[in-house]
């Protein structure tokens, strides 16, 4: 009888609880993006180095510099999507990232993000969207980047989007 009462009690609690909604983070729809980046032989299509980009409606700013060799666009998009899937898996995107280094790779492309302990998953999401903005707007090349808040008064970390051999 006690077991039935406890089961009934917990069932009532579960049914009375508000619905649980996971945060919604959009992934990059590879079919909607021109993934056929055409590497340029010169850097005429690159912004000046350093180049600062502030993600829309946020104080998160990326500083791009040290542009290098062309990267395969499809692998870059896969790397960015993998990072966004990690963000999407977080129940609380405002939580701090506990790993000091985040790393992703696809084919011969890699992304390393060294964060200083102050970066949240939400800031990392904005970082990934900023990286996508860069490779779509300019060229799909390797580069170094820093992540901070407007004017870099607050730093979150530094990273590199690059290629193996």
Domain residue extents for the chain: 50-165
**Contact (Cβ atoms closer than 8 angstroms) between residue 160 and residue 111:** yes
Which residues does 140 contact at the CB level (< 8 Å), separation at least 6? 37, 39, 70, 71, 72, 73, 76
The pLDDT value given to residue 107: 95
d(CA 138, CA 57): 21
pTM assigned to the model: 0.74
User: What are 26's two structure tokens?
Assistant: 């959009």
**Contact (Cβ atoms closer than 8 angstroms) between residue 158 and residue 147:** yes
d(CA 50, CA 8): 63
Q: Write down the H helix ranges in the chain.
A: 2-16, 73-88, 121-137
Q: Does residue 132 have a pLDDT over 70?
A: yes
What 8-state DSSP symbol labels residue 143? E
User: What are 158's two structure tokens?
Assistant: 């530094």
Higher pLDDT, 13 or 138: 138
Identify which of 85, 151, 96 has the alpha carbon closest to the alpha carbon of residue 122.
96
Q: Does residue 48 have a pLDDT over 90?
A: yes
The pLDDT value given to residue 109: 97
Identify which of 91, 65, 76, 70 has the alpha carbon closest to the alpha carbon of residue 143.
65
Is CATH 1.10.287 correct for 50-165? no
Q: Does residue 17 have a pLDDT over 70?
A: no
Higher pLDDT, 36 or 148: 148
- Residue range 61-78: mean pLDDT, rounded: 96
The pLDDT value given to residue 84: 95
Mean pLDDT in the chain?
A: 79
Q: Does residue 30 have a pLDDT over 50?
A: no
Helix (H, G, I), strand (E, B) or coil at 47: coil
The pLDDT value given to residue 25: 44
User: What are 116's two structure tokens?
Assistant: 């200083």
User: What are 157's two structure tokens?
Assistant: 């970390």
């Amino acid at each position: 009888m006690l077991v039935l009462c406890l089961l009934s009690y917990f069932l009532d609690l579960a049914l009375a609880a508000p619905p649980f909604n996971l945060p919604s983070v959009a992934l990059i729809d590879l079919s909607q993006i021109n993934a056929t980046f055409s590497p340029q032989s010169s850097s005429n299509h690159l912004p000046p180095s350093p180049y600062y980009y502030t993600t829309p409606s946020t104080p998160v700013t990326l500083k791009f510099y040290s542009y290098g060799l062309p990267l395969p666009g499809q692998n870059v998009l896969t790397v960015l999507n993998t990072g966004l899937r990690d963000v999407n898996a977080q129940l609380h995107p405002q939580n701090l990232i506990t790993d000091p280094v985040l790393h992703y790779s696809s084919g011969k492309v890699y992304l390393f993000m060294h964060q200083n302990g102050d970066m949240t998953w939400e800031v990392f999401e904005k970082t990934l969207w900023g990286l996508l903005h860069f490779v779509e707007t300019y060229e799909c090349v390797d580069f170094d980047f820093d992540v901070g808040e407007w004017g870099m008064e607050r730093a979150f970390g530094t990273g590199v989007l690059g290629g193996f051999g």
